Every structure is written in C-alpha cells, then in structure tokens.
Amino acid sequence: MSITQIESSIRYVTNADGEKTDVLVPVELWDKLLEILRMNSGLDPIDEQEPNLKILADLQTAVQQAQAGNTYPVEE
C-alpha cells in the first residue's frame, strides 16, 4: 500500500477551530500498521526472545570487560 493510498483512507477529526486533533484509521490499515511495527522493533528476532535478565547479565559483563580494558572492534 502506497503512502498516497494510506493518506486517502484515513480521516481527520477537528476541533471547533478546525485544528486536527485525531485520526480515524480503517481497522484493516490499523492491523497492517501494528504488524509492521511489531516486526520492526529494531531488535534481531533472536534478541526479542531473550529474557531481560540475560540481556542485563550480558551488559554487565560487557561493562566489566570494558573497565578492564578488554575492548573489541565493533565488527566483532
């Protein structure tokens, strides 16, 4: 779906002064947008499943290694 098609399918709600206050989005489009947002969290899918405690432990280890002077190139 193109941006033009998306723009033509939404409707704006305005206040008494004619200022846009809200947007009405068809349910089908809304569901597609939510699906896209869920797929694009910025994390690799394997990271999405990693428990928060594991992520925190990995971060703490990385900080300790950096403090000890054990750093690695970004590529690694």
In the 3-class helix/strand/coil scheme, how is the chain assigned residue by residue?
A: CCHHHHHHHCEEEECCCCCEEEEECCHHHHHHHHHHHHHCCCCCHHHHCCCHHHHHHHHHHHHHHHHCCCCCCCCC
Q: How many domains does the chain have?
A: 1
**pLDDT at residue 20 in the model:** 95
**Domain housing 39:** 3-67
Residue 72 lies in a domain: no
Residue 57 lies in a domain: yes
Q: Say how many residues make up the chain.
A: 76
**pLDDT at residue 43 in the model:** 63
CA–chain centroid gap for 54, Å, is: 21
Which residue in the block uniquely carries the two structure tokens 């947007």?
Answer: 23
pLDDT tens digit sequence for 5-14: 888 999 999 9
pLDDT tens digit sequence for 12-63: 999 999 999 999 999 999 998 888 877 766 666 666 677 888 888 988 988 8
**pLDDT at residue 54 in the model:** 84
